[in-house]
Amino acid sequence: MLELVDVSRRYGQTVALDGLSLRAEEGKLLGFVGPNGAGKTTAMRIALGVLEPDGGEVRWQGHPVRREEQRGFGYMPEERGLYPKMRADRQLRYLAELHGCPPAEAAAAVTAWTERLGLGELSERPVEELSLGNQQRVQLAAALLHDPRLLILDEPFSGLDPIGTEVMSEVLRERAALGVAVVFSSHQLELVERLCDDVAIVNRGRIVAAGAVEELRSERSRPRLRVQVDANGDWLSGVPGATLVSSANGEVLVEMDDGADDQLVLDAARRVGRVRRFEPARPTLAELFREVVER
């Protein structure tokens, strides 16, 4: 298990992390999300030992992380960390050997991962000749070659087509199923919601919400209803405890105050027309994200 405990970091007068605490458990996928400049990349680099915190602590398996442990983590940076003119397979073998894999074991790992990630003979080309999506696959292979117990990935789905996204998703699920702790950042919140066991939302250097998406739904959002009725005009006005969130194509999203009677909304809809739809609306991760970040 990886823990960041009350971690802080400044760049001059800019506060990048302000007492951030984060926990990634073995066998789970943690989606690490937040606005641009919220501190995600800084937190990841501190976890890896690339940056030192100004305060706080990084812990691994319950003890302060050691440098040799950090060197064994798998890291996929958002920026390309590859040699553009070098053949992909050769630099993957080189990187595996840097992680301590014997040459034969490194070669076998490169073959296995390039095949698994759909690169095949493309791995024999210089990286600069590969598409951005295939470069992303090479970057993932580099993070996996030494069979790390922790994977930290910064925007791993950037530049991938739907097939590449599905391959990446499958690999991350497989790693988690084998007991690996997986942390990744992404602006694709629908993908995070579908893929992750837990989510941590960071804003201005602090975690503002964390837990399973269902937990965040119950903790952070008021009840909502989705109502479709054959009527025009503001029929919801005057219903106590009900607030119109959005309206489109005859369908309205209604937020209810705690304790408000949703049957009053149904009664108001029936008075103006035929009700086609009336059901609870589960907030998406994107809606939860906006709620906690814009607060």
State which of 161, 190, 217 marks the end of a domain.
217
The pLDDT profile of the chain, 295 residues, written as one tens digit per residue, is 899 999 999 999 999 999 999 999 999 999 999 999 999 999 999 999 999 999 999 999 999 999 999 989 999 998 878 899 999 999 999 999 998 899 999 999 999 999 999 998 999 999 999 998 899 999 999 999 999 999 999 999 988 889 989 999 999 999 999 999 999 999 999 999 999 999 999 999 999 999 998 888 877 667 889 999 988 778 898 899 999 988 887 788 898 998 899 999 999 999 999 999 999 888 888 888 888 887 7
Residue 56 pLDDT: 96
State which of 159, 193, 217 marks the end of a domain.
217
State which of 149, 182, 217 marks the end of a domain.
217
Is the same domain home to 235 and 204? no
Enclosing domain of residue 138: 2-217
Is the same domain home to 92 and 123? yes
What string of DSSP letters covers the chain? -EEEEEEEEEETTEEEEEEEEEEE-TT-EEEEE-STTSSHHHHHHHHHTSS--SEEEEEETTEEPPHHHHHTSEEE-SS--S-TTSBHHHHHHHHHHHTT--HHHHHHHHHHHHHHTT-GGGGGSBGGGS-HHHHHHHHHHHHHTT--SEEEEESTTTT--HHHHHHHHHHHHHHHHTT-EEEEE-S-HHHHHHH-SEEEEEETTEEEEEE-HHHHHHHH---EEEEEES--S-TTTT-TTEEEEEEETTEEEEEE-TT--HHHHHHHHHHHS-EEEEEE-PPPHHHHHHHHH--
Is the same domain home to 144 and 250? no
CATH number at 118 reads 3.40.50.300
Residue 217 pLDDT: 81
CATH number at 230 reads 3.30.70
Is the same domain home to 41 and 130? yes
Is the same domain home to 228 and 202? no
Is the same domain home to 36 and 141? yes
Residue 287 pLDDT: 83
Is the same domain home to 265 and 153? no
Residue 221 pLDDT: 66
Give pTM, 2 decimals.
0.83
Q: How many domains does the chain have?
A: 2
Is the same domain home to 16 and 162? yes
User: What is the residue type of 252?
Assistant: V
CA gap 17, 90 in Å, rounded: 37
Is the same domain home to 202 and 74? yes
Residue 291 pLDDT: 82
Is the same domain home to 207 and 229? no
Is the same domain home to 170 and 247? no
Residue 57 pLDDT: 96
Is the same domain home to 156 and 265? no
Residue 220 pLDDT: 67
